Amino acid sequence: MRARQAGRRVATVVSVLLAVGSAAPALGQMLPLPPGDVVSGLVYRRDGTSVPFVRTGADANAYIFSTAPTESFVNSAAAAVVRTTAPTQYVRVYTEGTTRPVGGFIAGSDTVRGLTAAEIKDKLALPYLPDSLTIVRVPAGTCILTGTGAPILGNFPANPPSIPVGGPWGSGGTAQSSLIGTSNDPNCANPQFLPSDAYTNRQLIGDKALAYAPRAGGGNAGAIGRALDRATPPALFGDMDSVYNSLDLLNYGDSDPLQSALQQLSGEVYADLPSVEIEGARAFLGVLRQQVSQSRSGGAAMAGGPTAASPGEPGRPNAWIAGLGSVGRQSGDGDRHDLDFDVLGVAVGFNHRLDDGLAVGGALAFSSSSFNTRRLSGDGDLSTVSVGLYASYAPAAWYVDGALGYAHGWGTVSRAIAFPGIDRFAAADTDSNLFLSGVETGYRLALGDSTDLTPFAGFQAIVVSQDSITESGAGAVDLRIGGRTVTSAQGMLGAELAHRLDIGLSAPLGLSLRAAWSHDLADTERSFDGRFEGSDAEFSIEGAEAPRDLAKVGVGISLAAQAATLFLRYDGSFADGYRSQAATGGLRVSF
């Protein structure tokens, strides 16, 4: 990196070192030192000579024979030599064709990350403007000298080869290191310089050194890449630094490995969580709609006319139980992954017809949902308790139905984060509150003694209030996600065809066919704002977008026998890139 003046006799160096031999040994601990053992005594050079110790910048300069006006290290600052006990990673910058990619002077990635070439030159006090960098993979057992880079600001003339260009060079002031070499000796005897293949991923510095954005692409990978670029670089040798190091090794050549790693870091599955909760809420509202429909006078809406078997007379209560389930997929696009989900639950309730035109009721349900993102690690399981009240007013052929509900959901979401250098598992508990409402009005048109057609319009609103989420298990890349509110507000237009089929029993078989178009008036984007535990930069991650418009179809069947009614229903919702299919079946009893 920096051309250094050599040339002092060893005897002179030794005399200087002996003069400052009492320097405080703890000074080195103020530097960002790699994991390893600090060499407290003799430190050998590659030529077999040695110095008594390296504790200050003056010691370090003497060790590498660096003198004014281009001294490498601040004389009065701390310095230390460490023999590493674990692999580490540094960078080396150079000027193609002028300085070499392979050399002794290196720096931590935090020193140059996000800087321009001119900023790097000043910060490292380099003689030439660098245009390239290489990642240096340092094995365990390597001796590394570290100190604070000295400012080289004087107006001095060039004196090749020790001073290749005149000053000033730059401000310095940051930690820099010099590779001594690998050694089996605790005092670095017989050090061997690193082979050239330890200097990997040789690349242009570009606009910003080590930036991920140019290869990260768009979507969630790009969001993570840009956030890591603008974040404060992590401290060397910490957990987040190891994540950056692994990404740095992927940030070269083919962009697919880097983009895949960034997508795994994104936690996209959390963006999909409200969609799953909305699906569960719709399943519950669907059960309420069926029951409020059956509670109308004479059961006309369900069974096909005023002569159908009544689910209950005024003054008589009714109780019911229903099993519910749904399964579906919400597709992503090139940057967002598909979401698969399923819901399974049971609901119980009652209703009471106050008179021929008005019925009221309530319900309680428990459901369990599971979901996962396809082709990207992320899955979860949710449990939800729902309560609701419903009513129907149908004085004649015209009716209006309404329902209000509340649900509380909780669960666990987990994901694996695995790419070269990183293998982790993160999980988080989730907690949310949902507020549900629905209203529908229609007018029944008789098409004969046994068949009715009912045009209708409806509106359904679901509000998901989700608490903040804190992951654990993945260290510095655990996600911290703020609370958020997501709303679905669907308007519907459709028609229902109902028919009573005489099958020779005391009551006919009730058949219904329902078709509708729905349009969501709320924001259909699914996203969250979050950050990593080990980073200060926030980012926004998007999940699969909910459909704006849906085609809805439903088929129902009911059979009444004295005071009991069996019912079964299928409902499907379809759009480009979306499908959801639900089934409900149960028993209704009049007392």
Place of tokens 């061997």: 192
Q: What pLDDT shows up at residue 42?
A: 97
Angle CA(554)–CA(397)–CA(455) in degrees, nearest 5? 35
Q: What is the pLDDT of residues 188-222, one digit of tens each?
A: 999 999 999 999 999 999 999 999 999 999 999 99
> What percent of the chain has pLDDT above 90?
85
Strand 79-84 and strand 43-44: the pairing is unpaired
CA dist 565 and 587 (Å) reads: 6
SS3 526: coil
Which of 192, 193, 228, 223 lies closest to 208, judged by CA?
228
* Cα torsion 198, 201, 206, 209: sign: negative
The helix or strand, by DSSP H or E, that contains position 460, with its residue range, turns out to be: strand 451-466
Mean predicted lDDT score pLDDT of the chain:
91
Q: What pLDDT shows up at residue 314?
A: 65
CA dist 359 and 584 (Å) reads: 22
Q: What is the pLDDT of residues 359-403, one digit of tens each?
A: 999 999 999 999 999 999 999 999 999 999 999 999 889 999 999
Could you name the CATH architecture of 265-573? Beta Barrel (2.40)
pTM, 2 dp: 0.89
Q: What is the pLDDT of residues 80-117, one digit of tens each?
A: 999 999 999 999 999 999 999 999 999 999 999 999 99
Place of tokens 């401000």: 171
Q: Residue range 244-271: average pLDDT?
A: 97
Q: Residue range 237-266: average pLDDT?
A: 97
CA dist 283 and 345 (Å) reads: 9
Q: Residue range 396-424: average pLDDT?
A: 97
More confident residue, 395 or 417: 417
Torsion of CA 157, 161, 164, 166, to 10 degrees: -10
CA dist 302 and 400 (Å) reads: 14
Angle, helices 239-250 vs 256-266, to 10°: value is 150
* Domain ranges (residues) in the chain: 10-204, 265-573
Does the pLDDT value for residue 5 go beyond 90? no
Q: What pLDDT shows up at residue 313?
A: 59
Q: What pLDDT shows up at residue 303?
A: 40
192: phi then psi, degrees, rounded to nearest 5: -110, 130
CA dist 485 and 471 (Å) reads: 19
- Give the highest mean pLDDT range of 123-132, 153-162, 327-336: 123-132
Q: What pLDDT shows up at residue 412?
A: 98
- Per-residue pLDDT band for 7 (boundaries 50, 70, 90) equals very low
- Per-residue pLDDT band for 330 (boundaries 50, 70, 90) equals very high
Does the pLDDT value for residue 223 go beyond 60? yes
CB-CB contact of 424 with 243 (8 Å): no
Does the pLDDT value for residue 20 go beyond 50? no
SS3 557: strand
Q: Can you list the positions of beta strands (E) in 95-228?
A: 105-106, 132-138, 142-148, 175-182, 199-204
218: phi then psi, degrees, rounded to nearest 5: -100, -160
CA dist 408 and 82 (Å) reads: 56
Residue 361 identity (one-letter amino acid): G
Reported for 567-574, long-range contacts at CB under 8 A and 24+ positions apart, including other chains, are 567/290, 567/294, 567/302, 567/322, 569/290, 571/286, 571/514, 573/328, 573/518, 574/550
CA dist 405 and 289 (Å) reads: 12
CA dist 231 and 534 (Å) reads: 10
Does the pLDDT value for residue 8 go beyond 70? no
Q: What pLDDT shows up at residue 562?
A: 79
Q: What is the pLDDT of residues 447-472, one digit of tens each?
A: 988 999 999 999 999 999 999 999 99
Residue 565 identity (one-letter amino acid): T
Q: What pLDDT shows up at residue 21?
A: 38
Q: What pLDDT shows up at residue 443?
A: 96
More confident residue, 378 or 30: 378
Q: What is the pLDDT of residues 259-315, one digit of tens each?
A: 999 999 999 999 999 999 999 999 999 999 999 888 774 443 344 443 333 445 566
CA dist 213 and 224 (Å) reads: 9
Torsion of CA 274, 277, 282, 284, to 10 degrees: -160
Q: What pLDDT shows up at residue 568?
A: 96
Which of 417, 528, 402 lies closest to 464, judged by CA?
528
Q: Which of 145-159, 297-311, 391-405, 507-521 is least confident?
A: 297-311
